[in-house]
Amino acid sequence: MKTKVISFAIFAVVLFVTANLSAQTAGTMTFNFTTVQQGTKTKQVNAVWIENASGTFIKTNLLYIGDSTSDHLPQFSLKSGANGTATNGNGAVQDASTGNTINAITGATRTSSTAPLAWGPYSVSWDGKTGAATPVLVTDGSYKVWVEMAWNDNPDLHDFINTGYSFTKGASITTTNPSNIGPLTSITLTWTPSALSLDSVYKTKIAIYPNPSNGIINVQYNDIPVSKIDVVNVLGQVVKSIKLDASSSETTESIDLSGNANGLYIINVSTNETSSSYKVLLDK
């Protein structure tokens, strides 16, 4: 009888560990950072992607690159399975534009007139799924969001940065504020399980009006320590970002979008721990 009890206990422990290893928590990873201009040149290219703890590529979040700069992101090319040698450069780097960018934001080289700008704020999100035609929610555990950038300091010299930031995908909210490195500043990285998002916790305490809007959008939040509000267009580009004092007694923030094009926008309302998104139609 004692042997049977021990065997059952071992089985229970194995079952518990297996269940935890295969947990697949739905949620959102939000990665915000600002790029600070290096030198006098106004252009840069960049890629952001997700890897697991073993360094295996999971999904591209965004890729901004041009035909003449397709060899400027060698690590992204390697990780994303790019094929076909870049037509520019010395022929030793694969063409980054041929890498896996399924369900990713893509665009040309960033300049002083693009959105987002070459040098300015970026907001990247990940839904915890693979970059595939039919995305699959990945298991919980340790992951890294990687950033690779290239820019021109002068006519004869390019500089590069390739760095990764770890976070834990799981049932708990995790937030980190990595140190500045090179041109990357104001970095925040948050994983928020769906069950703990503002949508479920504070659903009745946030109001976005009028909707549709003719230019002015009001965000009302009662008894919620809101620290930031981002307005994102359908391309995933942050068109306006407002930082707030979470300890302030103010409960309403008015956002002027009269200078923006008509269309659908996402209002991301964030505290220091979590965030929630709301759709607004701009119809001037």
Residue 9 — very low, low, confident or very high, per pLDDT cuts 50/70/90?
very low
Where do the domains of the chain lie? Answer: 27-193, 198-282
**The CATH number of domain 198-282 is 2.60.40.3080:** yes
**pLDDT, greater one: 282 or 277:** 282
What is the reported pLDDT for 18? 41
Higher pLDDT, 60 or 4: 60
Tell me which of 104 and 224 has the higher pLDDT.
104
Mean pLDDT over residues 108-136, rounded? 94
pLDDT tens profile 236-264 = 888 999 999 877 878 899 999 999 999 99
The tens digit of pLDDT for each residue in 159-203 reads 889 999 999 999 888 888 899 999 999 999 989 888 766 666 666
| Sheet-wide strand order for 141-154 | 105-107, 57-64, 44-52, 141-154, 157-169
**How remote is the C-alpha of 251 from its chain's centroid?**
27
Cα dihedral 276→195→49→119 (10° resolution): 20
Q: Which residue would you say has higher pLDDT here, 93 or 2? A: 93
Of all residues in the chain, what percent carry a pLDDT higher than 70? Answer: 87
Rounded-to-integer distance, Cα 146 and Cα 12, Å = 38
Give the tens place of pLDDT for each residue, 64-111: 999 888 889 999 999 999 988 887 766 678 899 999 999 999 999 999
Sheet holding 263-270, edge to edge: 238-243, 228-232, 263-270, 275-282
Q: What is the pTM of this model?
A: 0.66
How high does pLDDT run on average in the chain?
A: 85
Choose between 244 and 22: higher pLDDT.
244
Spatial CB neighbours of 218, under 8 Å, sequence gap ≥ 6: 207, 208, 209, 210, 252, 253, 254, 255
Peptide bond into 193 cis (omega under 30): no
